[in-house]
A and B are shown apart, each in its own frame.
Chain A
Amino acid sequence: METNVSAIAHTDTLLDVKNLYVDYHAASGMVHAVTDVSFTLRRGEILGLAGESGSGKSTLAYTITCLLRPPAMISGGEIVYYPRPSQDGKDTSHVAMTRLSKDAKDGNVHSIEETPSINLLQLSPAQLRDLRWDDLAIVFQSAMNALNPVMTVGAQIMDVLRTHRPHMGSDSRKQRAIELFQLVGISPDRLRSYPHELSGGMRQRAIIAIALALSPEILIMDEPTTALDVVVQREILTEIMRLREKLGFSVIFITHDLSLLLEMADHVAIMYAGRIVEKASRQDLYLHPRHPYSYGLLNSFPSLHGPRRKMAGIPGSPPDLRAVPPGCAFHARCPLAIDVCREVLPTLQSMRGEDSGQLVACHLYDPRFNAGPPSTADLASKYQALAGESSA
């Protein structure tokens, strides 16, 4: 079933998320946190995921790392991971793969011309343990809570190495820990510090060092800089960009701060109410956001330059995910909504006659429903009208 897909994709694609659905079972009803989400992550790419709180971006991060626990349930879809072929000389995924290919007979692992593909959602806990940290690492939002307060940060790095590299001697473990601290820009004598002795920025660097300990292919960063000050945030981001250049991993960067993503991500996906509503390269998104929600989100950040003008946020608040309204979930807040938005669910597609890779789930760009797609200026004037209204 996957033969064709993986044969085509093996050069470039690292992670392929297909039609993913995640629900939370709550007493008051089913919360549809992630609905029909598909995207691909290429090797070396930084993919940004942006959206308001409750848009499902963190749930998506936890799903990819298989960290979800009940009451969360994955109700559909698959996450296919294409490890780097072993002849690349990369030891780590090779170790994981030999173990995994033993299970090839139960149809989970497909080996096609040295490009095996693994559906992460079907792995056993032991297989996941091999894969995590080796291939897939995550950096959480709150560095204080992610570190163990009663262990030194050095011990926490070496703990990862001891678990995943049992044959490594204690000297080489220590050596590696020193290397990693130098890599992320902390002086190695801090290895003996406890988390409370480090500042917020240093803790976040330590977390990044742990995440990079085994040179993973994919680094998932869930709001890694939200709790930090702007100057420290800038340092961490510069560090991530430098390390990616050097080590060549891919990043899924989750944040609500779209202006950050526009600076660093290669591609950006905008999520709203559990769905991806727009996917584009950062230039396209910055120069001509298509979805009214993307425009609203972009327009929520006052600018440092240019004329000072009255701005309007997005009116209303996000829908209750237990009962997402029919049609486009954004229609109630959309200043450009047309009748069909209330009834028909828009799908992610490119604009007709265009091949830029900018995909948008909005009826305004569908010639069947709207003859003249709105320009960015149209979006701007509608939002500007809102700003005038709210000030009146």
Chain B
Amino acid sequence: MNNLAVGLNEASADHDQGPILEAVHLRKLFPLSSLNLSGTKRAVHAVEDTSLALYPGRATALVGESGSGKSTVACMLAGLYSPTSGTIRFRGEPAKLTDKSYLRTYRRHVQLVLQDPFSSLNPVHDVRYHLARPLRIFSHAQSRNQETEQILSLLNRVNLSPAEQFIQKFPHQLSGGQRQRVAIARALAVQPVVLLADEPVSMLDVSIRLDILNLLLRLKDEERLALLFITHDIASARYFAEDTLVMYAGQMVEGGPSDEVIQRPMHPYTQLLISAAPNPDLLSPESDKGVTDLTARGEIPSLIHPPSGCRFHPRCPHALPVCSQRFPARTELGGSRWTNCFLFGDGETSSQAETMHPAAPVPGSFSD
């Protein structure tokens, strides 16, 4: 393909071009080492059969509650955990993340931004140290002058100005938002093509969150980064990402274009998640709904002994007998929407989204 044409094309064209980073049927068990007389090995089933794809210049949001396995997915993609089974494909090739020298080149392209900027920066080192290390390790800077120059430009790119002052500051002299900017600058220092952001704004003050999100969006557009945005806030997923994936208790339950997923949620869990989100728009004159009441109470189940079949079935108001027996295969709903739910079929591709199971819940039925 002509390189010039790629640069000029829109994000949608990249979509056709193929994913840059892809997770195929990832699974992760964390074995428990506690004394067990029965001899059976117990494990936390953190992630079951997760597949996702990231495209350059495109943001994908991974939404779920705590304990849903979304951070585990990020850590596997970053090469911090090795998956129990499944493959990670980088630029179409399976990534050999157990190979140390491969891992180093991989990290040259895939970077992770962590949730808590208060603990992800080393308190005894200044900003220069944090940004100089990746530059030196990946030999982007040959001399001290070059290093300073690049650090200053990184700081300017994340809107930390005057950069000359920030370069010598220590983490404790920075506010939460400024620290997160340093963490983002550190990730950008290696000139990555994929940025994994694990709840990058949830520790920050409300008024700063949008700034950081807008910064990431700008970088995505300017540098054509492929972004994975992990969040529990479904409204910011809609604001930030083109695509949204919903996870529950280690299983992917629904995915598709963000607006579609949020305006017309199909899977009962997505509907629950959306009806639970604070929604001041209920106060607007055209809405006469009061405070929503949830029908599916309860909590994420234990992942040591997860429920069989679809893990949402004990809470699901629409559960069918088959739901407790096995996990449904992915049903394509058209328009790159899909869900794993028996209410919409069992893996067969429905030509139109309208051909639903008779028992299928009407989108939004939770909020009535």
Contacts and interface: CB of A to CB of B under 8 A. Distances in A.
A332 B189 CA distance: 32
A302 B273 contact: no
A187 interface: no
Contact of B238 (A231, A304, A315): A304
A300 B209 contact: yes
A2 to B, nearest CB: 37
Interface in A120-179: none
A305 interface: yes
B356 interface: no
**What is the interface of chain B mostly: helix, strand, loop, or mixed?**
helix
B80 interface: no
B267 to A, nearest CB: 14
Interface string B274-287: 11111111111100
Contacts of B93: none
A391 B276 contact: no
Interface in B69-105: none
B359 interface: no
Contacts of B272: 231
B207 A313 contact: yes
Q: Which of B263, B280, B281 has the most chain A CB within a 10 Å cutoff?
A: B280
B214 interface: yes
A303 B277 contact: no
B239 interface: yes
Contacts, number: 123
A185 to B, nearest CB: 8
Interface stretch (B20-28, B293-301, B324-332, B340-348): B293-301
A296 B209 CA distance: 12
Interface string B19-61: 0000000000000000000000000000000000000000000
B234 interface: yes
A231 B273 contact: yes
Interface in A231-277: 231-235, 237-238, 241, 256-260, 262-264
Contact of A230 (B210, B214, B276): B276
Q: Quick one: which of A53, A199, A297, A298 has the most chain B CB within 10 A?
A: A53
Contact of A52 (B205, B262, B283, B285): B205
Contacts of A283: 283
A354 to B, nearest CB: 19
B53 to A, nearest CB: 22
B208 A317 contact: yes
A311 interface: yes
A232 B294 CA distance: 10
B205 A304 contact: no
Contact of B297 (A235, A258, A259, A302): A235
A257 to B, nearest CB: 6
B279 A263 contact: yes
Nearest to B239: A302
Given A229-B66, A256-B206, A306 B238 contact: no
A300 B206 contact: yes
A241 B290 CA distance: 12
A8 interface: no
Interface of B: 65-66, 175, 177, 205-211, 214, 218, 232-236, 238-240, 259, 262-263, 272-285, 291-294, 297, 299
Given A302-B238, A312-B211, 5 more contacts: A53-B205, A233-B276, A241-B291, A258-B280, A300-B210
27 contacts: A52-B205, A52-B207, A199-B299, A201-B299, A230-B65, A230-B234, A230-B276, A235-B297, A237-B291, A258-B206, A259-B278, A262-B280, A263-B280, A282-B283, A283-B283, A298-B280, A302-B235, A302-B236, A302-B240, A304-B262, A304-B277, A308-B238, A308-B259, A311-B210, A312-B214, A391-B214, A391-B218
Interface of A: 52-53, 199, 201, 229-235, 237-238, 241, 256-260, 262-264, 282-283, 286-287, 296-298, 300-306, 308, 310-315, 317, 387, 390-391
4 smallest beta-carbon distances between A and B, as pairs: A313-B210, A302-B239, A262-B280, A234-B276
